[in-house]
Structure 1
Amino acid sequence: MRRLGLFMLLMALLSGCNNFSMPGSHTIIDWVDFVKWNGVKYDAINHATLADEKYIGKKLGKVEFKVDGNVNNPHYKIKDGDAAFHEKGTVIYSIKGTEELIAVKQSNEINGYRIYAPRGKESHWDFKSVPLESVKTIEIYKSEHGKINEIKKREEISLFLNMLKNSKEDPNFQYDASKGDPTYYDSVLYTNEPIAYKYFVQYDGTTYFWAPNDIAVLPNEIRKFFPE
């Protein structure tokens, strides 16, 4: 009975430890893509990309420490110069035409840079914030194939944007996985601003869909803008 009582006490103590780990083990932290600079914590904007490299401004500094893979303490306090995924020495740039945003060169990003905004200000790049009447060009990129289409005619731009705007949200939508993973595209909306708006579109072989908020199904007519 004494052994059982000690065992139950030990289990009760362990169950109350949210971050308990066995000796020699490591806590795995799922980092958000961030850069901290000049006292400000910047988060990556998934719906934004640099419009053109000419907008890259002066060098602000360099990443001093990459936390991913090097920090196992969930109570670690982020310092200036820390970044989630960028290696030490990666240059941090200002962006001409905006004082809030910063950029870090990243080869797999459209136009070559990852864009960061002060935490809490990423929503400016949601689709509902796009000045649709100011969109001048739309580029379509296919995963691992690069740019596959460029839309410049006003009537075609309006048609594409209206299809996005009028898509039908369906949080219960499930894509057809019988042919494998959907094909992934990025649609980039350019205005005259240094930052363009970027939204993914996926195609499962039957249906085009995207996720402005919840999953939304797009009309089949949109296929004209996604050449194979």
Structure 2
Amino acid sequence: MNDQTDVLLAARGLSLSYGTVPAVSQLDLEVRAGEVVALMGANGAGKSTTLMGLAGLLGPAEGHVELMGEPTTEPLHRRARRGVRYVSEERSVIRSLSTLDNLRLGPGPVDDALSLFPELEALLDRPAGLLSGGEQQIVTLARALAGDVRVLLADELSLGLAPLIVQRLLGAARDAAAQRGVGVLLVEQHAHLALKHADRAYVLHRGQIVLSGPADELSDRLDEIEASYLHGAMPAAATP
């Protein structure tokens, strides 16, 4: 198990709000090198807000974020230079550009992206707008994982996608942690899949962490957790 010196990203008493409306309260969590952490909760629990705060898109109302052991208030583009990658729940491709040009927009070499997802080789000349939803998400994740990545923050990688694509995406995130020491924080609507690929997990309820622990222990309590805290976190209809 990684120790305290391996913490890449942490929230310390972090509270986040939209104007005067509180969204997340007194959040304490850690993401260590080489591990996948799942962040689970019902719709509106504060999961996406948490990722935005950790990524630098939303400033803290209280508390702070630590990156590589040091407090930071840097915006996303500066955290990105230090190896933080944020994948939002909206697919981040420019539809008019080719797959190749979309990959070129990332911070890492295209060859790295293709080594992670060789299935993109056959799609390089195709406009991203003509790719399936699953292919677009693969482009997004390939671009995020290419190059010198330290932390991956991924919001709903599986949203609306077919099971085989979901397994491919979550497996790639797991491999990045295991093989390259990336710290991964996943927001995932499919709790059983999240726990299958994660080392640890946190459960958010109304903006506060109510449960945390090893993924296998929380998996054993999944029925209880779903009934108590995940009601309303319903998967969207799948597309290829």
Q: Smaller-chain TM-score range?
A: under 0.3
Which structure is larger by alpha-carbon Rg, 1 or 2?
A: 1
**Which structure has more helix as a fraction of its residues?**
2
- Would you tell me which structure has more strand in proportion to its own residues? 1
| TM-score of the pair, normalised by structure 2 | 0.26
Identify which of structures 1 and 2 has the higher relative contact order when contacts are C-alpha pairs closer than 8 Å and 6+ apart: 2
